[in-house]
Amino acid sequence: MSGKYPTTFYRVSLKAIIRNEVGEVLVVKENGSNWSLPGGGIDHEETVHQALVRELYEEALIEKDFTETLLDTAIMYVTSKEAWLLWLVYKIDIKDFSYGVGQDADEVAFVNPTIFKDSPHKSEQLVYDFTSKHK
């Protein structure tokens, strides 16, 4: 066994697709990383909704209630974490909300996801892939 987690375990991460009125998608940068969908790991004893509420506040200061619908999944090995990661990607239905840069983010922005179509970075490719597949 190498890394922080046994090779049979996945770190489960919830990711959120939040679109504005012109179809742009909310993305975040954490710890100098590349753009990604907002979200993060689900903690023990949290529901999916509780984890999304916590993560969206920690990264984007979103405090308004919302509903979520599971859209897709992705499995990848993340070298920096030395672990397999399972992304559960949710569509977030939320209206008239404010956002900002939370404690766990460096930047937060709405962008046209097509800018990531040819990105060399996996997290940005996944933003494009998920948002183009689930319009």
Q: What is the pLDDT of residue 7?
A: 64
CB 90 within 8 A of CB 68: yes
Q: Is residue 41 part of a domain?
A: yes
User: Would residue 4 count as lying in a domain?
Assistant: no
d(CA 69, CA 72): 9
Q: How many CB atoms lie within 10 A of CB 59?
A: 27
Domain with 38, as residue range(s), is: 10-133
* Mean pLDDT value across residues 35-53: 96
What's the domain count of the chain?
A: 1
The enclosing domain of 110 has a CATH number of 3.90.79.10
Q: Is residue 1 part of a domain?
A: no
| Domain presence at residue 88 | yes
For the chain, what is the mean pLDDT? 92
Does residue 3 form part of some domain? no
Tell me the per-residue pLDDT of 65-116, one tens digit each, with 9 for 90 and over: 999 999 999 998 888 778 889 999 999 999 999 999 999 999 999 999 999 9
CA-based R_g, the chain, Å: 14
- pTM beyond 0.85: the answer is yes
In this prediction, residue 1 carries a pLDDT of 46
Does residue 76 fall inside a structural domain?
yes
